[in-house]
Chains A and B, each alone.
Chain A
Amino acid sequence: MSLFLRDYLTVVWFGLAAILLAGLLLGVAAAVRPSRPSKEKLIAYESGVDPVGMGWSQSQIRYYVFALLFVIFDVEAVFIFPWATAVERYGWFGLITMLIFIVLLLDGLVYAWKRGLLRWV
């Protein structure tokens, strides 16, 4: 085995240890604990509130538009934070690049807005 691959041996040991440990804990728990299922215990846990309806439920398709639009702000945030930590070093170049980036992303929002996707029908 080469030196390079040997570096990854640690990863392999870690993986094995994690699997062993988790298996041990779950296995011991399964062997030791008493098992007395009842109807109350088996219903889905919803923070103490009795669940309503089935586990499979339909949700409004229009939420997905908001999930998509959220990505615009999400991506902006992901790139603006690291950029902001060093903005004075990037200087004008960084400022203009970031402005172009933001404008490109906001174009998506403008498009969605003009197409009426922000209206709650």
Chain B
Amino acid sequence: MLAQDDFFLAPGIEWFHLGPVIALVSGALVLLVVGALTPRWPRGLYAYVTALTAAVAGGLAVFNWNDITDDGVSTLVGGALAFDTFAQMITITVCAATLLVALVTDDELRRAGKDGPEVYALFLIAATGAVVMGSANDLILLFLGLETLSLALYVLAASDRERPTSQEAGIKYFVLGGFASAFFLYGIALIYGGTQSTNIGEIIGSFQTSVLLDGKDTLVLAGIALLIVGLGFKVAAVPFHMWTPDVYQGAPTNVTAFMASVGKAGAFAAMLRVLVIALPFHRDDWRPAIWVLAVLSLVIGSVLAVVQTDVKRMLAYSSISHAGFILVGVEAAGHNAGELAPGDGMPSVLTYLLLYSVLTVGSFAVVSLVARNNGGDTSLDAFKGLAQRRPTIALALTVFLLAQAGVPLTSGFIAKWGVIQAAVEEESYAIAIIAMVAAVVAAFLYLRIMVSTWLETGAESTEREAVPFSTGVAVFSAAAFTLLIGVWPGWLLDAAESVTTYAK
């Protein structure tokens, strides 16, 4: 008989606090296994189960939020997951986007006769990955979340098996994404080499307690560079953006909406966790890199978006420019990372992610409605005369586009205002001015789509777009949210302002 020892101490598992992750995983498993064991479910049930799962997970995150405000931040499962309001905010963002995408996907798939549980299960698995990325307190776990998200997204991008462009998108995303993951993993390895830990808390601790030998610092700096490359790919920041237009255009529209919302939210959450929370002692090393990424993304994303003729491709470039805006917030957060007064950078990024997720899903939902009417055509011509055929849908699209342009009284203004204000507060005037100029350039692109929709007339033969119930609900609620936040942003900004992070 072996003597009892400390060889293994079972970590405590806080089941209730893990609720969002467990809800998402079980939703995916139920869809896959029960969906496979039973004959085809009646219309729309797959989508409603997915939406319900996302809603439950989001609701549990709200419960967690209340627990955290009462009891303070802590960690779960032996320090593997951080239990802070930052994680809950990302969870809520991811769940809201998943819910909307599930509603949009419903008739997209049913009309094509491809309804089945697989796509929905993959949505939920990807959402799980994004939630784990947002709450990881360990770089290895963060990588696991990243892979869970990415692997599901690769399959989703190729999920339209009859369209070669979808296959192409899947392969491109897979090859480049796998490359980026390798960079990221190597970065983790180097950080581990320099700090003797992958746990974020211990990484911070190693900088606080030990005097750095220069050799070790070389490793950490090289690790930071590789991590930024890996994360840059995932958030689609210039110069790591090459895959974005092709993949966004080739993937099914509902999947594009998912990638632009959940994928971005997860990747930026990971970026904040890694750079701002885990490596505040190197903030002066990584902040210039983020500055360059932000400026390049803003300028190149906005300028290239203007010259596109395909709306999906335009929105892809506009998502690059939005990534630039979010990076402005990350840069601002970098000025006083790790200090007791964390500044406005982090809250502005979190607000931007939530608002942009809703916006982008709404925009792509309208694109999917128009595309379906034209046999998959998403060029600007397909949008001509939309206002005559479907005034309400055109109005919703206009709301989304104005919000993306950052017009006041829409949520996009609040988001852009937040990041630029955070940058100004940290006296990064140059980046704030570049961001505002980029916003003006990008506004031209949104106006172009609006002109096509409202002022130009389409071919006489074009039929009216069919607006199925669930997509209509998704578009309407996204537009309502956009306007609501634009008029009454206080509560969301207060919530984002109060976000706490676990760092010890």
Contacts and interface: CB of A to CB of B under 8 A. Distances in A.
Contacts of A88: 2
The prevalent SS among residues of A at the interface is helix
B36 interface: yes
Interface in A11-26: none
B213 A89 contact: no
A5 B190 CA distance: 12
Given A111-B32, A111-B33, A114-B36, A89 B214 contact: no
A107 B10 contact: no
A10 interface: no
B248 to A, nearest CB: 28
A28 interface: no
B379 to A, nearest CB: 35
Given A89-B8, A90-B10, A4 B33 contact: no
Q: Which of B2, B32, B37, B215 has the most CB of A within 10 A?
A: B215
B390 interface: no
B10 A93 contact: yes
B8 A90 contact: yes
A89 B7 contact: yes
A107 B213 contact: no
A89 B8 CA distance: 7
B499 interface: no
B218 interface: yes
Interface string A84-121: 00101111011000000000100100110011000000
Interface residues of A, number: 18
B40 interface: no
B76 to A, nearest CB: 15
Interface residues of B, number: 15
B296 interface: no
A95 B33 CA distance: 23
Nearest to A116: B36
B32 A2 contact: no
Contacts of B213: 2-4
Given A4-B213, A4-B215, A5-B215, A110 B10 contact: no
Q: Which of B29, B36, B219 has the most CB of A within 10 A?
A: B36
Contacts of A94: 8, 10
Contact of B32 (A1, A5, A86, A107): A107
B216 interface: yes
Nearest to A1: B215
A110 B37 contact: yes
Contacts of B8: 86, 89-90, 94
A94 B7 CA distance: 13
Q: Which of A93, A104, A111 has the most CB of B within 10 A?
A: A111
Nearest to B25: A104
Contacts of A110: 33, 36-37
A2 B213 CA distance: 8
Contacts of B37: 110, 114
A5 B218 CA distance: 10
A86 B214 CA distance: 40
A62 to B, nearest CB: 17
Contact of B215 (A2, A86, A111, A114): A2
Interface of B: 2, 7-8, 10, 29, 32-33, 36-37, 213-216, 218-219
Given A2-B213, A107-B33, 4 more contacts: A89-B2, A94-B10, A110-B33, A114-B36
Q: Which 3 A-B pairs have the closest CB atoms?
A: A2-B215, A4-B215, A93-B10
25 contacts: A1-B215, A2-B213, A2-B214, A2-B215, A3-B213, A3-B215, A4-B213, A4-B215, A4-B216, A4-B219, A86-B7, A86-B8, A90-B8, A90-B10, A91-B10, A94-B8, A104-B29, A107-B29, A107-B32, A110-B37, A111-B32, A111-B33, A111-B36, A114-B37, A115-B36
